[in-house]
Structure 1
């Protein structure tokens, strides 16, 4: 356990705080959290952080409980596992998931933690982690799809003092950077993360100077307590004592086996909710394991509850005592060291589909369909005509699910704060052209509220090199709900410069590309919500005109018949809808697009790929 050194050991008394002071401090902390982002984006070099915002900040109280931020508090796990001292001016770095109970979940995420001192006392923590484009390992990008151990995935940094009482540990940093392919990017991104944490530290110190440390810390207690009370009420009114369960899948492990099951059962015990992952498959030999930190999952649960039922609540760690998470050891979500973790993003994202399937079963009006539950990656690397190394890491976007209150957005990230890398940026800094960046019509599941469409990005490579692809939902469908249809699955295909077409697996490395080869990176759509036969025919016609739905899709999925000028033929539409109603079976809550056995039987005909082999576990 860490030993915290403070020159001022006088206890800080808790004081009464009024609502105006709470409001001022709360909004000041919100602004400080966004200022952390702004500092990072203006200082980092890698497009994954600078352009796509693949980073997650937080500001916590002295015990490490997150008050504002993202991804929940991982500081408690650090304090429990770090055996050294914590002193003013220290800045800590780690990228080892197994040393912090999965607070970061693969070696590409570099986590910086900084204690915030005021008047000789620790008054809080600032922390942030960002995804590094490369951390060494067997393939460029450090996310090998065939890894069987974390030691194949690049340099692993145990918890160290990057700064010791304000002094940079330069030799250790040079040793770490010597293991990576893009050391200038890593150094710049790391410095930017440190600068962001120091910015938060200054803002917290200013609040302590303005209000006094006692008032500031009492406000933090009030914010955490307010969150506890709000979540206690939400749990009492939305979670039943009777268990409900839901299962979803990771399609394959990158080594030919799958799908892998993620199962969760939820129920309420008194004022607490229990989420039990019993039934989840054992850990994979391949790198799709997701070392799920219990506090991180509590945060996922809290965000989902708040955004669905009461978006005005500021989420923080205050409600954690109300949630109990049970994850079986040596399962896909709690693998044993040194299991590979580099492709964990698919399980991480699929957790949100599982939560959606759980929380909406008893209240279908709040039920979301399955959405773009991943952050799929494309890596492209090689040497240009001048012999200079280039290396791209980019996150793909897809369709957000149809929801009780509207259509899912088209071509969006799983994470709301992520943004797309501008095509102009890509073409300016990498040897490629973006020949197509467009929505895929009909890829969003049909429904009263349509699922968001996936997108098709066509990359024309201008230099020979290698690509790696990380994706999922090519075998199972993003399911629809309440009569909504599933969204379309993802696909990746390479058109060689001689015109031949090759369908690529959803997870692959070391794919050689030549100049003028074109990769089509097609992402999946979100599932639909509600009966598509109840959607306004005029709205369907408008979306056909906008290229979001095809004329054939309108006819087959929505029962809408359009004339040559794309206006609605009302009589034929009513007849077509009645034809569909009379021929279809009873509408269920979920539409998975078929059983696993049915999907296996249709797989090669529908996808051009052989179905994955059923995993075997010891």
Structure 2
């Protein structure tokens, strides 16, 4: 049999990358919910015939789902699901709606296309279906095990009826679901075109070559950068919203030859509240691969080809592998904090090679009610914070953990929802000081223009994002309800059903991030620029960086700066690899 050449493999690789991008564009132009349409909370994937992800953003769940259909799948079938427990955690809560389409060419399956997106509301007691007080998944809304939404091209209208009857946003949900289907069908068509152009035999050979190429490269990364002796790191989630916590997340890593091992033994038991995160092994392998590839070799193709060299142990019943029917709605705290723990473990022996800790969650602002024309509204906005200082430079200010996520434009919010955004800005001094400064937080002030209810999901309100390699920790998050009479009421980081009246305001401040490296080694000119841009105050420039500035012109006073920095070096405590700030000895509530 003729073997495919490397140039054809490269052509098919780039074609598939473009198909993935086209899946996104199709969804963004068709969906109605702002969290998908504007913020891009969705994840596409294309697999080989065995269900291995060839291009995408998350680990493949396809084999586990397809095996739940003993009758098999046919051309024209469209599988739909929203239950994390039915797909090994590949979707993390019931607001994530997933679609899988088998791709046929000349009556044979040549792969699968899949997409999941976060829909606005799936029922339950609280708008947007992520109640802080939920103690089981039954209290969060309606979930769907894998079902055939279309069977041989025929729509199952009963599923649509059930969906519409169990949500506060039936029009948006139906539109979002059909947009997700359209996205997957776009990939189906493009893959069939590739098979037509190159032949199915060569197309499938290219998929095998892409998976093998990634496998070889990942083995090299593991041998070059992972320790042979086990190392452990731990970080904490503040609480579960029900008065329990903090919750420890502990990870131990090591390698044996060119295979890597990741063990969550020592992580706290699952929470009574909804901060549990059902960590799919394939999803975590994807996270590991994404981290190693982005840090050490960004040219590597991101796919499932390296999964057999990564081995994950997650004890059943812990925070990262809860037993059904544990609540999962607020799982983003553990999901995002996972990256801080992974980064910390990988940096134990070489802190100079890894970033500090970031804001470590996906904060949510939820506002619902009826406007002055008695129309129901339901806003769910994902907020962002500071990304950590890194070996190559400063952390990003007010950025999402997920690279593809973006802000909902203020014009969109004020057009479609009864609120006004008074300001949306970065928080001065919220990023940890360092040779490379930690990214600053976001500060957003909303004015509510209709009576309604507000819910908030956030973390890092008590436990700071740690600095690394001499860097200082970032700031904590905070929330404030400002009544129209001026009364100020602090809010918890996890709270439901805060009643608001027209004229009331919500000040939403996310967490900053840790700095990287010794702050007094930062170039004074960079400190001056930070101060002039409002990112760092004159006072912090002096106290943390040892840079003395003219209070009017912001010019660096070079002599005073040299003298102050020499004094600081001689009198300060020795720098540490990790600076945990106010974490200290974490005490259970």
Q: Give TM-score, length-normalised by structure 1.
A: 0.94
Give distance in 1, aligned partners of 2:385 and 2:439: 7
Which residue is equivalent to 1:279? 266
> Deviation digits for residues 87-138 of structure 1, max 9, x if unmatched?
1110000001111111111100001011000000000000000001100001
2:20 partner SS: helix
CA contact (8 A) 1:361 1:367 kept: no
Where does 1:122-201 land on structure 2 (aligned, <5 Å)? 122-201=109-188
> Deviation digits for residues 272-321 of structure 1, max 9, x if unmatched?
10100000000000000000000000000000000000011111000000
Give distance in 1, aligned partners of 2:431 and 2:24: 32
2:319 partner SS: coil
Where does 1:251-290 land on structure 2 (aligned, <5 Å)? 251-290=238-277
Give distance in 1, aligned partners of 2:247 and 2:352: 29
Q: 1:554 pairs with 520, 523, 541, which one? A: 541
Which residue is equivalent to 2:105? 118
2:125 partner SS: coil
Give distance in 2, aligned partners of 1:469 and 1:76: 36
Q: 2:562 pairs with 553, 574, 577, which one? A: 574
Deviation at 1:373, TM superposition (A): 2.2
- Structure 2 gaps of 5+ residues are none
Give distance in 2, aligned partners of 1:295 and 1:313: 18
Q: Are 1:31 and 2:15 counterparts?
A: no
After superposing the two structures, state which structure 1 stretch, 387-396 or 80-89, moved more. Answer: 80-89
CA contact (8 A) 2:426 2:441 kept: yes
CA contact (8 A) 1:136 1:142 kept: yes
CA contact (8 A) 2:360 2:459 kept: no
Which residue is equivalent to 2:486? 499
Which residue is equivalent to 2:576? 588
> Deviation digits for residues 531-556 of structure 1, max 9, x if unmatched?
00000111111111111111111011
Which residue is equivalent to 2:448? 461
CA contact (8 A) 1:15 1:218 kept: no
> Deviation digits for residues 314-339 of structure 1, max 9, x if unmatched?
11000000000000000101111100
Give distance in 1, aligned partners of 2:6 and 2:205: 12
Q: Are 1:50 and 2:37 counterparts?
A: yes
- Structure 1 gaps of 5+ residues are 1-13, 601-612
Which residue is equivalent to 1:9? none
Where does 1:53-132 land on structure 2 (aligned, <5 Å)? 53-132=40-119
CA contact (8 A) 1:177 1:187 kept: yes
Give distance in 2, aligned partners of 1:407 and 1:570: 23
In the superposition, relative to structure 1, how do residues 322 and 333 fare at CA in structure 2: closer, same or farther (>3 Å)? same
Q: Are 1:204 and 2:191 counterparts?
A: yes
CA contact (8 A) 2:386 2:439 kept: yes
Give distance in 2, aligned partners of 1:214 and 1:111: 29
CA contact (8 A) 1:377 1:393 kept: yes
Q: Are 1:478 and 2:475 counterparts?
A: no
Give distance in 2, aligned partners of 1:67 and 1:486: 38
> Deviation digits for residues 248-279 of structure 1, max 9, x if unmatched?
11111011111100101001122210100000
> Deviation digits for residues 57-104 of structure 1, max 9, x if unmatched?
000001110000111211122134444421111000000111111111
Give distance in 2, aligned partners of 1:403 and 1:567: 27
Give distance in 1, aligned partners of 2:396 and 2:490: 27
After superposing the two structures, state which structure 1 stretch, 575-584 or 106-115, moved more. Answer: 575-584
Instruction: Find runs of 4+ consecutive structure 1 residues off by over 6 angstroms.
Output: none
Q: Are 1:247 and 2:231 counterparts?
A: no
After superposing the two structures, state which structure 1 stretch, 181-190 or 75-84, moved more. Answer: 75-84
In the superposition, relative to structure 1, how do residues 259 and 81 fare at CA in structure 2: closer, same or farther (>3 Å)? farther
Q: Are 1:563 and 2:558 counterparts?
A: no
- RMSD of Structure 2 on Structure 1 (CA): 1.1
Deviation at 1:594, TM superposition (A): 3.7
Give distance in 2, aligned partners of 1:266 and 1:169: 46
Which residue is equivalent to 1:609? none
Which residue is equivalent to 1:292? 279
Give distance in 2, aligned partners of 1:64 and 1:580: 58
CA contact (8 A) 2:464 2:583 kept: no
Q: 1:334 pairs with 303, 321, 330, which one? A: 321
In the superposition, relative to structure 1, how do residues 491 and 595 fare at CA in structure 2: closer, same or farther (>3 Å)? closer
Deviation at 1:247, TM superposition (A): 0.3
Which residue is equivalent to 1:406? 393
After superposing the two structures, state which structure 1 stretch, 559-568 or 127-136, moved more. Answer: 559-568
Deviation at 1:174, TM superposition (A): 1.0
Deviation at 1:385, TM superposition (A): 1.1
Which residue is equivalent to 1:415? 402
After superposing the two structures, state which structure 1 stretch, 355-364 or 408-417, moved more. Answer: 355-364
> Deviation digits for residues 546-578 of structure 1, max 9, x if unmatched?
111111110111111111321111121122222
Give distance in 1, aligned partners of 2:41 and 2:64: 22
After superposing the two structures, state which structure 1 stretch, 355-364 or 455-464, moved more. Answer: 355-364
2:581 partner SS: coil
CA contact (8 A) 2:463 2:583 kept: no
Give distance in 1, aligned partners of 2:67 and 2:249: 28
Deviation at 1:361, TM superposition (A): 2.1
Which residue is equivalent to 2:201? 214
After superposing the two structures, state which structure 1 stretch, 317-326 or 172-181, moved more. Answer: 172-181
1:201 partner SS: helix
